[in-house]
Amino acid sequence: MSLLNTPEFKVGALVVSVGSLIAFMSLKVSDGTNPFSGSDTYHFTVDDAGGLIKNSAVKMAGIKVGTISEIELKNGKAKIYIQMDDDVTLTQSGKVELRSDGILGDRHVEIVPGNPEDAPLESGSEIASTGGGGGLNEVMKEVGAISKQLKELSINLNNAMKGSGDDSSPVGRIVLNVEKLTKDLAEITDTNKEKINNILSRLDQLTKSI
């Protein structure tokens, strides 16, 4: 009996075939691609690829449609290659932007659909990038700028309140003017105290007579 016709060989061949199929599908799933469909590749360039890693998600409308296949440094910028399911159509007016996934700084690539009536973008082409999409990095930059302004305001207020005021800032000049006005009013009141009392007394008498 031929070895190829033995039950042992047939069982072994079946096990190897099934194992190979499982391994193939596992690799495809880990790459985020559909094992039963093809894929298209595209690339784009950004100034900062922080928070992106190989095999992280590429999404459209929040739905995963592909993965990042490679990230490399080219001419001082990050060149990112993405692999997408071929049933997702990109047009020449489509764009990509980087969006945050949470407070830890992780980001993903988000496809911004273009005009569906535009010509399709061929596989291997470059996609226009809008850069960041108002993610955590942008928020932190804004917070940092506001904090700096608040610190400067606090320093100015502190300087204005020290001693007799500080005329180097608008707030300080206001404080100085208020101090001078208060001092002048006090001097006028003290100098003309008797006259003021007489006027008040006459007003009181006039009021009673009326």
* Mean pLDDT, the chain, whole residue set: 76
At residue 36, the pLDDT reads 45
59-63, 162-166, 202-206: range with lowest mean pLDDT: 162-166
* Residue range 115-158, pLDDT digits in tens: 888 998 888 899 988 866 555 566 666 677 788 888 887 777 77
CA atoms within 13 A on the CB side of 158: 6
At residue 139, the pLDDT reads 60
pTM of the model: 0.49
Percent residues over pLDDT 90 in the chain: 15
What is the b/e burial string over 169-202, where b = at least 16 CB atoms within 10 angstroms of the residue's CB? bebbeebeeeeeeeeeeeeeeeeeeeeeeeeeee
Q: What contacts 86, CB < 8 A, 6 or more positions away?
A: 37, 38, 39, 40, 123
Percent residues over pLDDT 70 in the chain: 67
Q: What contacts 140, CB < 8 A, 6 or more positions away?
A: none
What is the b/e burial string over 142-167, where b = at least 16 CB atoms within 10 angstroms of the residue's CB? eeeeeeeeeeeeeebeebbeeeebbe
Residue 109: closest CA among 140, 143, 74, 71 = 71
Q: Retrieve residue 20's tokens.
A: 């190979």
At residue 32, the pLDDT reads 46
Tokens 């039963």 locate to 36
24-28, 98-102, 146-150, 170-174: range with lowest mean pLDDT: 24-28
For the chain, the distance separating the N- and C-terminal CA atoms, rounded to the nearest angstrom, is 141
CA distance 209 to 138: 74
* Residue range 7-55, pLDDT digits in tens: 665 556 666 676 666 655 555 444 444 444 567 899 999 988 888 889 8
Residue 69 to residues 42, 82, 125, Cα–Cα distance (Å): 10, 5, 15
Q: Retrieve residue 100's tokens.
A: 């945050």
> pLDDT band at 182, cuts 50/70/90?
confident
Report helix, strand or coil for 122.
Answer: coil
CA distance 138 to 97: 13
Which is it for the CA torsion 186, 189, 191, 193, positive or negative?
negative
At residue 45, the pLDDT reads 92
What's the rounded mean pLDDT across residues 90-115? 83
Res. 1: pLDDT tops 80:
no
